[in-house]
Amino acid sequence: MKKFIASVLVFVLCFAPVASAAVYEGQRVRIVIGSTAVSGDSYMVADIVNRYLQKYLNCNSKVDPVGANEAFATIKTAAPDGMTFMIFHDMTYLGVLFGSYSKDYDLENMVIGPRVGQNPGSCFAGKVNAPYKDMKEMAEWLKADPSRTVRLSVELGSVSNLAFVIYYVWLKDTYGEEVANQLRFVLGGSTDTKLQQLWDNNADVIFGDYSSFLQYTKEGVDEQLALKYVGIMDRIPGRDDVPVYGDMGITMEGKPLYFSKDFLIYLPKGTPDNVVAELDEAVAKMQADPQFQEDMAKMTYAGNTLQSKEAKEFIYAKRDAIKNVLAEAPNIEDLE
Amino acid sequence: MILNLGLALLGTAVGIIFGAIPGMTATMAVAVFLPMTYAFQLVPALYLLLGLYVGGISGGLIPAILINVPGTPSSVCTGFDGYPMARRGESERALKVGITASFLGGMISLIVLALLTPPLAKMAIKFSAIEKFLIILFAMTVIAALSKGSMTKGVFSGFLGVLLSLVGELSMNNKMRMVPSFLSDELRSGFQLLPLLIGLFAICQMFQEAEKGMQSNNLDEGVTVEGAKKFSFSDFKGQTVNVIRSSLLGTFMGILPGVGGSAASLIAYSQTKSFSKHPELMGKGAPEGLIASESSNNGLTGGALVPLLSLGIPGDATTAVLIGAFLLQGIQVGPLFIGQHPDIWNQILLALFACNILMFIVMFFPIKLISQVVKVRSARMYPVILLMCIVGAYATRSGVMFDVWCLLLFGIVGYVMNKIGLPTAPFLIGFILGGDLEKYFIEAVKGNN
Amino acid sequence: MQQFLKEWLKIRNMHLFFPYLIASICALLFVVILIQRAIKCKKDGTPFINFKNYHFFKPGYDKVKLWGSLVLFILYIIALPELHFAWASVIFIFLFNVLFDMKPGKLFDIKSILISAVIAFVGSWGVWYLFYQVFNITLP
């Protein structure tokens, strides 16, 4: 019976006239994000997007920084009416791929909405006086003397873990396993923890966000504190002077690697199509808004959106490619 | 300027409300207002947010003194002496002592911030995990200072608190421990501090009062507010050293990134007890304990801004939220901040100065009214406290129902602990410090290559 | 020692070290507490286990209020996500007020019940308005 009613409902909703489709008009909307920090890219992107969604959906939405666990749990249990959704980056599927989260949280158990933006600035940074200027040189430097090691501070099961693995696999394929095994894995934490590790000389290279390291790479910073970028995972518009993974020749599955964090809207399973369609429409308007593009660019993010259909194909393909790389990767715990 | 001061006043007043409501904190207040600051320039936004910060830290003393429920984790020690004073009818005196101590703590830390920021920040990053581990361990010694009856029971209770804080996932290796599989979603990030704190104090007290039949109010029998000792600034006579020591300890804890505000007041409290001429009076309503706790937690405010503004590293949870305000305006805080933005830096000092004065004014003068809360009958007061606690618990992680269940759970735990003679304050302190103790222990061992 | 710790703190099982350590300390302290009690009992000549004179609840405690508050609390939490925050609160804060202000022999004190209703209504909607509307905090 329930199923019958549900299918009737879906039927009615699908064929309901588009004019009456304003589900969001005047509603209170809760946007959960997978981070508790309000200074990270997850919050910043969600905050910008939230302002434009309010404008184009005409709703009263609010960003709740509940953290990854709570955000996933919310999407699992929330009513599929579109009034609660998540904006989060690649951690959504990485958590499952790395085994930190159960299959209950698989992409297949969510409805994938439009992509709302990208952050190209995931990067590794090292001490300013490190003997290599980027991660390509780092490979040569390692190869030159097998007794050398580089300690990279990353977090398990995150984008940084992926960045480490991609580099490791590329090193292994290009320079051989011995060189790759000269990489050492250091358990990181928040950006502050990692900076402290670097300053305490407990790590040589740390992972973080381009913008959060920017101040330390500027001229005039105390040498003890100063950093330099050694590998950014994607091109940042207007910054041609920094080493980018793909440009240095780092590849994944044979192709130069350019990896941006993709921020998508994720909705609870069973969310009706007209809700997603309304989000798509609002995101399309947002994409066309020059002010939105400017706001994103100011934070070194990119306002490249995708409609939900393409976003779904895109993120599934991205996940499958990464799954293959992870299959090749060693157990990171052995490189400690 | 008028607008800025108006915002600072608004911030301070709202901050005090957040601080005073059990389960709501300065961090929450700043986070709630953060998205609204987008509409302002950075400087007015900072006046508002710093007001919330100072107000939120200070407001915690009100419920700690009046109903023995610390409004924020950093005012845990305030109730140790503040509440016995209130029971003697001296609620107004206790509140005024607390507010004055807060003000002095805030001002001393402001002086430190203004004069010593760059050198102190350089010193702060020299502290490695080993030193931080030792500091946390040192803060735990306050348990000994608190265990009046049986030292063993107090220490046992403290370690139980540490054990409980380990429940859930260790964020370093994403592995769970001590979590039954049917609660793996709920307990993944462990028990939350705020529901535990207010459950252990407020809800537990509600059950205790219910057991006694909700007969009276919180005053000791035969005591009247009118007949009690009044506040005068001479309460601070002989406390100069205490004020300065506690404020500086608070400031120092603020400067150290990753050592939270609760550790500050714990260390200040136990230091004051060990230097006190009458240590036996502490915990029974001695103003010096109150002064230590409040001057140190407000001392934190200026201290926590030191590493934020000179390194880009927040000194505590609230300043971590403040970074968001800078980023929303497209300004990076880091080692070059003060040099590149001397105008903003000066405004921050000015704002902090204004907020401390406003906090003092906003709290000191209506205190007569607020202090009357002790006269309210328990039967009428506890339902309202409960309502606030529910809001606070639910808001801890922006809307998780499990946290409200924890509120009830720890109300029962506190009630049972009292019945079997296990002190709850050491349990709470163990829980507050447990996570950091583990983190710095592991980092110290692993990092020391 | 260093080596021992390093082995224990390998990433694979680092999450277990502290729980084991702290649990052992707790167990140790528990034994100490028992021994202390045994010594004290021997000195005072009281039996080690003394259930007869032990009362978990105060003699003559207010059963209705204690158990009533527990039951109401549980029902309140269950009701919160089902009803609107403010309505659930109006109902339960009212009931709590009535329960706590109940006096034996005078169950229906109209004045007291009216006051309860006013507190419940004003308190709940006031809190809801302030936090939900003004501060935009998520409530059940």
Tens of pLDDT, residue by residue over A96-124, are 998 888 888 999 999 999 999 999 999 99
Q: What is the DSSP string of B91-131?
A: HHHHHHHHHHHHHHHHHHHHHHHHHHHHHHHHHHTT--HHH
B131-188 residue pLDDT tens: 999 999 999 888 877 776 688 899 999 999 999 999 999 988 888 899 998 888 889 8
Chain centre to alpha carbon of residue A163: 11
Secondary structure (DSSP) of chain C: -HHHHHHHTSTTTHHHHHHHHHHHHHHHHHHHHHHHHHHHHHHHT--SS--TT--SSPTT--HHHHHHHHHHHHHHHHHHHHS-HHHHHHHHHHHHHHHHH-BTTB---HHHHHHHHHHHHHHHHHHIIIIIIIS-----
In this prediction, residue B195 has a pLDDT band, given cuts at 50, 70 and 90, of: very high
CA angle B229, B234, B236 (to 5 degrees): 105
Q: Which residue do the tokens 């002064």 mark? A: B291
Query: Can you tell me the mean pLDDT for B76-101?
Result: 93
The mean of the pLDDT values for chain B is: 90
User: Hey, is the C-beta of C133 within 8 angstroms of any chain A C-beta?
Assistant: no
Residues of B in contact with A38 (CB under 8 A): 31, 34, 320-321, 323-324
Write out residues 182-211 of B within 8 Å (CB-CB) of C.
203, 206-207, 210-211
Mean pLDDT of the region C20-41? 93
For the question of an ipTM over 0.90, the answer is yes
Q: Give the per-residue pLDDT at A274.
A: 94
Which three-class secondary structure state does DSSP give residue A64? strand
Q: What is the pLDDT of residues B208-248, one digit of tens each?
A: 999 988 877 777 776 777 777 788 888 888 899 999 999 99
Q: What is the pLDDT of residue C12?
A: 83
> Would you put residue B216 in left (φ > 0), alpha (ψ -120 to 50) or beta?
beta
This prediction's pTM: 0.90
Question: What pLDDT is stored for residue A55 in this prediction?
Answer: 94
Check if A47 contacts C (Cβ < 8 Å). no
Average confidence (pLDDT) over B33-52? 92
Distance from CA of A100 to the nearest CA of B (A): 6
Q: What is the reported pLDDT for C62?
A: 86
If one compares B68 and B261, the residue with the highest pLDDT of the two is B68
End-to-end CA gap in chain C: 51
Name subunits touching C (3+ CB pairs < 8 A). Answer: A, B
Residues in chain A predicted with pLDDT less than 50, given as ranges, are 1-4, 8-20
| pLDDT for position B399 | 84
Kind of pairing between the strands at A150-154 and A227-232: unpaired
- Report the run of H or E that residue B176 belongs to, with start and end: strand B175-177
Of B166, B395, B411, the CB nearest to C137: B395
Whole-number CA gyration radius for chain C: 26
Contacts of residue B258 in chain A, CB cutoff 8 Å? 192-193, 196
Residues B378 and B214 sit within 8 Å (Cβ to Cβ):
yes
Candidates A61, A69, A76: best to mutate against B (most CBs of B within 10 A) is A69
Q: Considering only residues 257 to 316 of chain B, which have any Cβ-Cβ distance to chain C shorter than 8 Å?
A: none
Closest alpha carbon within chain A to C81: A78
Q: Exposed e or buried b for every residue in A313-333, given b needs 16+ CB within 10 A?
A: eebeeebeebeebbeebbebe
Within an 8 Å CB–CB cutoff, is residue B175 touching chain C? yes
Quote the pLDDT of residue A12.
Answer: 47
Nearest by CB: B334 against A63, A196, A216: A216
Enter the tokens of residue A43: 């919050």
Q: Which residue is it, tokens 């328990």?
A: B378
